[in-house]
Structure 1
Amino acid sequence: MNIAFFQFAKILFPKQPQFPIKIPKNLNPILQCHLYRHRRHSHTCAALGGMSITSAVANAAAAAAAAGAGKKAAQVQLQAELNTDDEWNKFILRDGLLVVDVFTEWCGPCIGMVGNLKKIKVEIGGDNLHLAVAKADTIACLKRFRNRSEPTWMFLAGGQLINVVFGADAPRLARTIVEELQNEELVKKGERERPKRAPHELTPPEQELAVAQEKLNQQRREKEAVAAETARNLRRESRAKRLEIHFTDVCPALMMPHAQKNLRKISDVLEPYGVLVADKCPLVLGKHGARILAMEDPEFENPEAVASLIERPSLALLLKKLPDREGNIIEIARRTLFGDGLEMDDEQAKKLPSEELKANGIPGLFVPADRHQRASILDLLFPKLVGGLVEPPTSPDPPHIAMIFGAWQRRAVLTMASTAKLTNRLLRYGFFTDANVDEPKLLCKTVEKYEDRVEKDYSETIVLMIAVGVAEPALADPKDIPPEGPPEELLTLGPLHVSEDTVVGAEECERFFPPGYSEPEYKPKPKSKKKKKKRHDTKDETMDESVGDTTNDNIEEGNGEAGSADGEGEGDGDVEGEGDGELEGDGEDEGEEDDTHVDKATSPPPTTA
């Protein structure tokens, strides 16, 4: 064995080595590392001569053999993989400087920096530098780094977080490693204190970024809130205008269960002003109705009032103004029952019907304050009356965004979107020629039609319209409100584009899915074949003979009026048969093309060199 190493040394150093030893740059990194260490003791090597070189090479070769013959073994030794909390907790207890590449499953670690980090470890860090990659998706301490595509490098020592570097900036990362290694040397000598910061805490630069990001998020939320309120007001105004055509002199009202015995009092107060109780009916509003009423009037948010509306029947009233009376019925009812627009003292206010009907802080009467509330309460209390004259209101789309994926991902995307957690959030989808957001070109609306396409291309995309909220949060059950932002499950698939907020998302989705997109396509009915009426003669035998003779003669002569026994039906059949034959032929050709054609939308696009 020593002879073999000596021969290997002679290959590296054919002449008597000069000190300090010059080490070849193309040598195995592990051999380099050991030879560098032996070079530090050049005076010892000079005293011992060539045998020291042989010993150095032998030690280096032994280290290389221990590390493994392949690159994979060296990778395992130089860079640990952390996927669980236990693995993370054990790793951060190591001595020395720990450099961790934090990544998410859908993005992956920064492969381009692996070579630089290993070189730094071999040449500078040695046993004082430990490298690792950690999956943020499965480690609780790294939760703040999830769903990020930017490379993230954590520097830890003694179980404390000492620095965080973002981005694939190789020179900056190398400088930071050198600086932190020097700082660790000072810490060991007692000349410097290590910062006290747990791995889950933010560093000062991270805190600045977090503050800036929170400002951006706040601006985005305010922008979305304004847009949502504007859209809601437009819907209410449109509905109010629609109902005013038929219900100008009508106003709904609601008496709570405890106040129904005072119906006569309400009727007597309104009658002098030309307002009558045209209809009344008991009604249990239920949870949804109670939420609608509470959204229109905050007084009905009282838990006792909500419980009463859910459990007991209230009395729905339909107030109507007499034709010979002037004024707005809403203003008349509110002024008479609630004192709106009247100047009065406390004693007079207590005598108003609305105040007299209160019990234990629960209001006893509701009358809409404006035309928007009137439209909403009419739909709630008298749906059959309204439905007989006006179409019911359409449910608005919730806040949504557009997510674009490569069409080759369609199966994974639609499988993920069809899960129980996301199925209600997928509003629409379609296939488009590319990822152009400004001028999209539709290919087809369903995956079945897309699969039927013979020609597919890498540039084709599938676009999803994903809900990121609800249209009326006040009416929704909190458990039915989806989390803010795009679904993490879809983000893991690596979308090509995601709308930056719901305002931009609404604009983009309107281009991808214009009004009427979801309406079923019209399919023309196939034309029915015309049946040729058979000729009938007075005598059956004569008819059979004449038909037979005529058929034979015409076939021989090639006459176009041939075979009228089957008549035009047979002629039509020939024509259609030719047409069908052409179609079948095309189909067969397409099938042959499919055998050799590569489906470019079932696999990722090829990587460019």
Structure 2
Amino acid sequence: MALTSAVVNAAAAAAAAGAGKKAAQVQLQAELNTDEDWNKFLQRDGLLVVDVYTEWCGPCIGMVGNLKKIKVELGGDNLHLAVAKSDTIECLKRFRKRSEPTWMFIAAGQLLNVVFGADAPRLTRTIEQELRNEELARKGEMERPQRAPSELTPPELEVATAQAKLQEERKKREEAALQEARVARREARARKMEKYFEDTCPALIMPHAQKSLRKVGDLLEQNGVIVADKCPILVGKDDARRLAVEDPELKIPAALTALAERPAMSLILKKLPETEGCVVEISRRALCGDGEEEGEEPKKTMYEDLRVDGVPGLFVPKDRHQRAAALDILFPKMVGAVLEPPASVQPPHIAMMFGAWQRRAVLSAAATPAVAARVLKYGFFADTNVQEPKLLAKTIDKYDERTEKDYCETIVLMIAVGLPEPELAEPGTEMPEGPPAELMILGPLHVSGDSVVGMQECARFFPPGYSESERKPKSKSKKKKKKRHENKEESAGSTEAPPEPETEAAAGGEGEGEGSEENGEERTGESDSDENNGEDAQAVDKATSPPPATPH
């Protein structure tokens, strides 16, 4: 009896020890979600190993087992593990918006090392080395690096410098491309305008200077230019900003407010038949003093006379590009009578590609308020070929109608990464940069390197006319052949109702006849169709399930 009691007690003690060990293992890794948690954790003695993660890309779960094993076998009480959420900890803000596993090594409040990636052997070697260094530091045989956790380590600094250089080069390349596209648009518009308004120059007299209209007209007439037409106009807030892009002096708040709230006077200037030269240059020279030769004593111009409290009293375009822009702003009806309105400007954009089997998750993320405004277009394509894409469908409904799908099919989104015309944006408008995190977390197959490459790729995926609605082909209905009756008198005197229109199944297109024959064959062999239905029920939709794992 005593022996049995001893065995039971030993078993209970072993079970208690196992439970305690399991509980200790659960608590091996602390969770840090706030600045308070972070600061409290840094006060621990020994080597601290922190797995830094972001909300949209969680901690490295695959390394947890290795880390716990290292702690039990090597570290003991001198090694403390934690996972820290960078989104809510200010000290870790430099790690936000990253998907790469990040490991920080800290001792006595000082940052010792940072390791990136889920390389288990490397991480193990680093922990062993830092544990030895920490032991030497405690004995006074080695000094710890004096570096706060918020500071960059030398490798980080090197990478950050290289990335900053690449970012600067990319930004310059994108800005140059946007400027080139802007100049091309303005040149194309100017050429169209010159076909109809070559001898015309628009101008604007600001609200406070309208009383000087006669003086302006007289001065222009002395130089061979007349005011052919004039019209009061309330420019409005948006067009005031557009004019300010053409003339920076109109950017001051007083000028923008005056144009947005008070009527101004728009003018059409034309040169007299005997006057030679460009009407824009003549008007600028007469009113603004442009074109004066060097050495001449500068004269006070009408432009300077009409300036009040820094607000100019006149706007006269400087060149053919400004003339075209001013005509579109000040005389839209006159221009619209002979030309189509200028095309809307697309923002800089990139292409993001996903597997078509992810389409519902992708479109769900794309519909969130933070992303929806940035999704310009999307479509489904046959594969991952970026150079020669093959379109399958423009909408998810059309894609779902396809009976045969494959794992290699993709969905591509055109994502805005900037504003179409930043100079026209409202003050404080945020500039979208880079691909949205909500889509990046889904693991895209391809993302354009920058907006320059992205706009080239999107031009292949979404060529001009892509967004135009597709014309539905007219269904060819087969006409019913009238039965020939032997008795013509009966057919002539018949009072029967006209035949009803054929159903869609009976009046299908040319290709539906074959389908109907197949249906007929299926009806004759019901047992075969039942067997096929059983097989189809077990088939996997290749565009709604992830592709099978590749064997190693």
For the aligned pair, the TM-score class normalised by the smaller chain equals 0.7 to 0.9
Given that 1:276 and 1:322 are in contact with CA atoms closer than 8 Å, whether structure 2 keeps it comes out as: yes
Task: Give the corresponding residue for 2:184.
Answer: 234
The one-letter code sitting in structure 1 at the alignment partner of 2:542 is K
- Give the alignment partner of residue 469 of structure 2, picking from 513, 516, 520: 520
Given that 2:383 and 2:408 are in contact with CA atoms closer than 8 Å, whether structure 1 keeps it comes out as: yes
Separation in 2 of the partners of 1:342 and 1:576?
78
Given that 2:477 and 2:509 are in contact with CA atoms closer than 8 Å, whether structure 1 keeps it comes out as: no
Task: Give the corresponding residue for 1:66.
Answer: 20
Please state how far the C-alpha of 1:360 moved relative to its aligned partner.
1.9
Task: Give the corresponding residue for 1:135.
Answer: 85
Bigger Cα displacement from structure 2, 259-268 vs 528-537: 528-537
Cα displacement string for residues 290-333 of structure 1 (whole angstroms, at most 9, x for unaligned residues): 21111111111222212211221111111112344321111111
- Give the alignment partner of residue 161 of structure 2, picking from 193, 205, 211: 211
The question of 1:100 aligning with 2:50 is answered yes
The question of 1:596 aligning with 2:541 is answered no
- Give the alignment partner of residue 248 of structure 2, picking from 281, 294, 298: 298
Task: Give the corresponding residue for 1:80.
Answer: 30
Given that 2:203 and 2:267 are in contact with CA atoms closer than 8 Å, whether structure 1 keeps it comes out as: yes
Please state how far the C-alpha of 1:129 moved relative to its aligned partner.
0.7
The question of 1:91 aligning with 2:41 is answered yes
Separation in 1 of the partners of 2:508 and 2:250?
71
Change (3 A) 1:573 1:205: closer
Determine helix, strand or coil for the equivalent of 2:370.
coil
Separation in 2 of the partners of 1:575 and 1:169?
65
Determine helix, strand or coil for the equivalent of 1:153.
strand
Given that 1:105 and 1:492 are in contact with CA atoms closer than 8 Å, whether structure 2 keeps it comes out as: no
Task: Give the corresponding residue for 1:168.
Answer: 118
The question of 1:363 aligning with 2:363 is answered no
Using the size of structure 1 for normalisation, the TM-score is 0.79
Separation in 2 of the partners of 1:574 and 1:365?
72
Separation in 2 of the partners of 1:349 and 1:325?
23
Change (3 A) 1:433 1:484: same
The one-letter code sitting in structure 2 at the alignment partner of 1:429 is Y
Separation in 1 of the partners of 2:461 and 2:249?
42
The one-letter code sitting in structure 2 at the alignment partner of 1:599 is D
Determine helix, strand or coil for the equivalent of 1:349.
coil
Separation in 2 of the partners of 1:262 and 1:301?
23
Determine helix, strand or coil for the equivalent of 2:103.
strand
Task: Give the corresponding residue for 1:543.
Answer: 490
Please state how far the C-alpha of 1:250 moved relative to its aligned partner.
0.4
Gap regions ≥5 residues in structure 1: 8-54, 549-563
- Give the alignment partner of residue 185 of structure 1, picking from 135, 142, 146: 135
- Give the alignment partner of residue 272 of structure 2, picking from 303, 322, 346: 322
Given that 1:106 and 1:493 are in contact with CA atoms closer than 8 Å, whether structure 2 keeps it comes out as: no
- Give the alignment partner of residue 426 of structure 2, picking from 461, 477, 481: 477
Given that 2:345 and 2:421 are in contact with CA atoms closer than 8 Å, whether structure 1 keeps it comes out as: no
Separation in 2 of the partners of 1:87 and 1:141?
12
Task: Give the corresponding residue for 1:278.
Answer: 228
Separation in 2 of the partners of 1:346 and 1:2?
124
- Percentage of pairs with the same residue: 64
- Give the alignment partner of residue 76 of structure 2, picking from 103, 108, 126: 126
Alignment of 1:361-510 (within 5 A): 361-510=310-459
Given that 2:205 and 2:315 are in contact with CA atoms closer than 8 Å, whether structure 1 keeps it comes out as: yes
Determine helix, strand or coil for the equivalent of 1:228.
helix
Given that 2:244 and 2:250 are in contact with CA atoms closer than 8 Å, whether structure 1 keeps it comes out as: yes
Please state how far the C-alpha of 1:440 moved relative to its aligned partner.
1.6
The one-letter code sitting in structure 1 at the alignment partner of 2:135 is E
The one-letter code sitting in structure 2 at the alignment partner of 1:601 is A
The one-letter code sitting in structure 1 at the alignment partner of 2:550 is T
Task: Give RMSD over aligned pairs.
Answer: 3.7
Separation in 2 of the partners of 1:85 and 1:256?
56
Change (3 A) 1:435 1:357: same
Task: Give the corresponding residue for 2:525.
Answer: none
Separation in 2 of the partners of 1:286 and 1:384?
16
Larger radius of gyration: 1
Determine helix, strand or coil for the equivalent of 2:281.
helix
Change (3 A) 1:600 1:82: farther
Separation in 2 of the partners of 1:225 and 1:441?
31
Change (3 A) 1:363 1:446: same
Determine helix, strand or coil for the equivalent of 2:164.
helix
Alignment of 1:331-346 (within 5 A): 331-343=281-293
The one-letter code sitting in structure 1 at the alignment partner of 2:375 is L
Given that 2:475 and 2:509 are in contact with CA atoms closer than 8 Å, whether structure 1 keeps it comes out as: no
Separation in 1 of the partners of 2:178 and 2:2?
81
Change (3 A) 1:84 1:442: farther
The question of 1:608 aligning with 2:543 is answered no
Task: Give the corresponding residue for 1:40.
Answer: none
Given that 2:229 and 2:268 are in contact with CA atoms closer than 8 Å, whether structure 1 keeps it comes out as: yes
Please state how far the C-alpha of 1:402 moved relative to its aligned partner.
0.6
Change (3 A) 1:309 1:61: same
Determine helix, strand or coil for the equivalent of 2:299.
helix
Given that 2:204 and 2:265 are in contact with CA atoms closer than 8 Å, whether structure 1 keeps it comes out as: yes
Change (3 A) 1:534 1:124: closer
Aligned length: 538
